Chain A
């Protein structure tokens, strides 16, 4: 089966999986293949290899998709358009504030706030939050037939879904608003418990941070509703039938376990699962050849060792792929063989794309 068949009718593809399995390259290869077949495709990568980014002309970090010159993609006939962008979390966050702030003055004040600075540059959470935020924005623009999103590296796949929700919860600031602004309905509801909590909060955190937070939320003011609405739209988009999650993994034991867990997470969250890509598989080798001519014993021994080592990996991969297949049921599973050299350039991208679009 080819990725083109798997993604029939999809307008958003989220590539997910544990770190170090070739997710970014797979996302770019999927986008390349779909664009070659005639679609206008944007791939949003989080942290691509410098060589790949450079080769595609993505060195500029302007946080907007750039059209890839198909002359860079030697050997691929491009019927559609391939666009790519490297996500800049800080920039995406700033743009978001600009778009929801009532006045440019207010936007500038928020961006100068210390709490905001910490919020928008903290790696944990902000990549995930801005990635889905950007996905939503691009999807709303209607400029692309398909958007392929690479997800930030995480050991726990759940992070991708939890982190944006956590940040939204903070931005909506429900609990804190109730504590800090005694005039709100929230405060009246919590009136009895809030005063000692506020006192204790000051004791634990120190006064400064409470004041900073109060200023920050006062600045956000009515904007917090916009974050909530946005979060609900993103949620609808991720659950849509036109969205597909593509699991990327390697055939090692750990990533296979992660992939199986991730499949369960998607099912629990009723998120649409499209299939899995297993990268760097060692295909089995059948040795039917006659003995090699004129091999001196030293070389023969080295060859035997190399073969035995390869055999271990091929057997390991076959066992893990079988395990994954059993866990995925009827879902499509695509295998990409291991290549002997590093594949973080355009050449590698084109090769992986060929494997995915056979």
Chain B
């Protein structure tokens, strides 16, 4: 890595659906907060009320809603009569929300604002670290591509300069890190490789790949032989152990694909055998990530 993860101001977490993006985002934000950094975890599901909620000392969360992001943007950037007219115009709002990419650009604009050392929002304290629980790979890559596309289409005007500023921030590896989460399964690994290729085409880089939910690999060849010798009907324990071992073999194969491509940029997280990953589990994962 060009600089350690927690030295950046902005970290995007993406990856295939179901691989544990939110868990990784929370684990990473948690470890940063415990180390004294003022940290916020943001998602763009828009379910929230656009308020920064304090979760723990130094740790807040925010669910970004494009509509509120737009209102904030208009009042900050346009201001005056024009800003008021647009902010109150349902017609304009319907149009802006329907414009492809506009929701993404507005959400990214808010993320960019959160990550600034001097924030634009009135009375807002700066954060040392903003962790974005981003959408799944395909949509995530599209999200990261949005500012450049907008800058190209609009060319001039405030949207173009804002989009350019965001695009530059995303490409700045001292400032921004992009993290892909994968699980050791064929589909997820393939999607990670495709994401890496898609980002490279946008001149962006994966700073870290997190191989999540790696099951234990505990049986050696001699034990395997012994397990195979038992009648699986009479010894369900042996059957489960062989199944677990088969999984471990298949996971090793997938992990090797990632190791080959990402080398030093790969971190492995163990599968946590818990019904729901709690604070202790998150802390354990966070410490591995912050190494």
Interface status of A330 (Cβ within 8 A of chain B): no
Cβ-defined partner of B98 (8 Å) among A50, A167, A179, A312: A167
B219 surroundings in chain A (CB, below 8 A): 299, 302
Nearest B residue to A310 by beta-carbon distance?
A: B240
Interface status of B234 (Cβ within 8 A of chain A): yes
From A18, A152, A153, residue with most partner B Cβ within 10 Å: A153
**Cα separation A245 to B141 with both chains bound (whole Å):** 29
B216 surroundings in chain A (CB, below 8 A): 305, 309
Nearest B residue to A126 by beta-carbon distance?
A: B100
The answer to whether A342 touches B142 (Cβ under 8 A) is no
Q: Do most interface residues of chain A lie in helix, strand or loop, or is the interface mixed? A: helix
The answer to whether A285 touches B236 (Cβ under 8 A) is yes
A interface residue count range (under 10 / 10 to 19 / 20 to 34 / 35 or more): 35 or more
A209 surroundings in chain B (CB, below 8 A): 153-154, 157, 159
Interface segment out of the listed B83-91, B109-117, B122-130, B257-265? B83-91
B interface residue count range (under 10 / 10 to 19 / 20 to 34 / 35 or more): 35 or more
Nearest A residue to B98 by beta-carbon distance?
A: A170
Cβ-defined partner of A203 (8 Å) among B82, B136, B143: B82
Interface status of A35 (Cβ within 8 A of chain B): no
Q: Chain B nearest CB: distance from A312 CB in Å?
A: 5
**Cα separation A254 to B247 with both chains bound (whole Å):** 23
The answer to whether A307 touches B153 (Cβ under 8 A) is no
Interface status of B185 (Cβ within 8 A of chain A): yes
Q: Which of A155-200 contact B (CB under 8 A)?
A: 155-156, 166-167, 169-170, 175-176, 178-179, 190, 193, 196-197, 199-200
Cβ-defined partner of B142 (8 Å) among A124, A155, A166, A205: A124
Cβ-defined partner of A289 (8 Å) among B74, B92, B157, B234: B234
**Cα separation A190 to B95 with both chains bound (whole Å):** 14
**Cα separation A152 to B157 with both chains bound (whole Å):** 35
The answer to whether B273 touches A309 (Cβ under 8 A) is yes
Q: Which residues of B contact A (CB under 8 A)?
A: 16-19, 22, 45, 47, 74, 77-78, 81-83, 85-86, 89, 91-92, 94-95, 97-101, 103-104, 135-136, 138-139, 141-143, 149, 153-160, 185-188, 190, 216, 218-219, 223, 226, 230, 234-238, 240-241, 243-244, 246-247, 250, 254, 273-276
Query: Which 6 A/B pairs are nearest by Cβ-Cβ distance?
Result: A19-B17, A20-B18, A206-B157, A170-B98, A200-B82, A123-B142
Q: Which residues of A contact B (CB under 8 A)?
A: 18-21, 47, 49-51, 114-115, 118-119, 122-127, 152-156, 166-167, 169-170, 175-176, 178-179, 190, 193, 196-197, 199-209, 212, 250, 253-255, 285-287, 289-290, 292, 295, 299, 302-303, 305-310, 312-313, 315-316, 319, 340-342, 344
